[in-house]
């Protein structure tokens, strides 16, 4: 087993008690924090074993996500993202200052605005083809996160038509003291399942964060005599990855190939890895195979994201 970060620091620290006047002196070893690498390129970021990724707390209700279609060998820091974004939108007659921008760990770039109104104007201008699409490597898509104002109703009778669902909720729950403004109804059921189950889960996209919270606080609703539990909607953006071979789209219990090391890509488990240099078994770059900045990981995540937004079921 390779030495841990703390062991490396202790090994490299010279203790010399004889140079101190107090014979009872014991030098204190202060282990510095692990180095933090800020978000950089989304394709060829060189990471070491001690690298940790930053976290961002984003209000997606006033943010847009930009997905370049071309993978570039570029250092995508905040400055570079903002320069490309300004070039893409400089011809718009909209006065705005983005709050911040950063590479999202699951792929793409997050641009957060000061208000939702500005976000809506920017999304509308993109759909109208007013952005300069020669930036961000030559072509890109822009998405508005839809899951922020979403809830899931469990055990909804599948025979109820989507258009009639809201009326069924209002009829069975006369004590609701707020308007149920639903933008979209999505059935969360696989298309290859036949016959359709008697009860299914349904996603409701509502107008505001306040309405979403009110529904979550209810915890359940009645629909056609069924008690339907209300839960927070969770988008699955993270690709399924095997922890045995570290390939995508299957899990370890279904894996039929040899074990690969997450750190170096060799045919052994990570616990038995003694190499200091990392090599991803998916893209051959210097990071762990489960890194959220791996180009193969981002490619698979982008396909999931495209399916989620373009065919939102």
pLDDT tens, residue by residue, 112-165 = 888 888 888 888 899 888 998 888 877 888 887 755 688 999 999 989 988 899
Distance separating alpha carbons of residues 288 and 270, to the nearest angstrom: 10
pLDDT at 190: 66
Comparison of pLDDT for 149 and 238, the residue scoring more: 149
Name every residue whose Cβ is closer than 8 Å to that of residue 116 and which is 6 or more positions away in sequence: 61, 62
pLDDT in tens, 13-59: 444 444 444 444 334 333 344 333 333 333 333 333 232 233 345 67
Query: What pLDDT band is residue 221 in, cutting at 50, 70 and 90?
Result: very high
pLDDT of residue 306 exceeding 90: no
pLDDT at 147: 52
Distance separating alpha carbons of residues 53 and 35, to the nearest angstrom: 10
Q: What is the set of domains in the chain, with CATH numbers?
A: 60-143 (3.30.70.330), 148-232 (3.30.70.1820), 252-310 (no CATH)
Name every residue whose Cβ is closer than 8 Å to that of residue 261 and which is 6 or more positions away in sequence: 267, 268, 269, 270, 272, 273, 281
Distance separating alpha carbons of residues 257 and 242, to the nearest angstrom: 11
121-130, 189-198, 203-212, 302-311: which has the minimum mean pLDDT?
Answer: 302-311
């Amino acid at each position: 087993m390779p030495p841990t970060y703390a062991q490396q620091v202790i090994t490299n620290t010279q203790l010399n008690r004889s140079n101190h006047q107090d014979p009872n002196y014991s030098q204190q070893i202060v282990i510095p924090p692990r180095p933090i690498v800020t978000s950089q390129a989304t394709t060829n970021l060189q990471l070491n074993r001690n690298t940790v990724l930053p976290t961002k707390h984003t209000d997606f209700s006033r943010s847009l996500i930009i997905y370049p279609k071309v993978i570039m060998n570029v250092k995508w820091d905040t400055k570079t993202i903002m320069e490309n974004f300004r070039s893409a939108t400089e011809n718009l007659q909209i006065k705005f200052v983005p709050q911040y921008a950063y590479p999202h760990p699951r792929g793409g770039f997050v641009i957060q605005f000061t208000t939702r109104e500005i976000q809506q104007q920017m999304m509308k201008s993109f759909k109208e083809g007013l952005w300069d699409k020669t930036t961000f490597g030559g072509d890109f898509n822009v998405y508005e996160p839809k899951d922020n104002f979403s809830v899931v109703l469990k055990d909804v009778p599948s025979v109820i038509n989507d258009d009639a669902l809201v009326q069924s909720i209002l009829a069975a729950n006369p004590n609701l003291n707020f308007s149920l403004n639903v933008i979209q109804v999505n059935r969360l059921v696989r298309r290859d399942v036949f016959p359709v189950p008697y009860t299914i889960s349904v996603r409701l996209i509502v107008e505001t964060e306040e309405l979403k919270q009110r529904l979550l606080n209810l915890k359940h609703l009645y629909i056609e005599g069924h008690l339907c539990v209300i839960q927070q909607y969770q988008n699955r953006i993270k690709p399924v990855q095997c922890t045995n071979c570290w390939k995508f789209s299957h899990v370890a219990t279904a894996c039929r190939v040899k074990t690969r090391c997450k750190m170096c890509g060799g045919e052994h488990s990570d616990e038995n890895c003694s190499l200091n240099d990392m090599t991803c078994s998916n893209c051959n770059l210097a990071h762990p195979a489960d890194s959220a900045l791996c180009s193969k990981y981002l490619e698979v995540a982008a396909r999931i994201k495209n399916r989620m937004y373009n065919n939102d079921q």
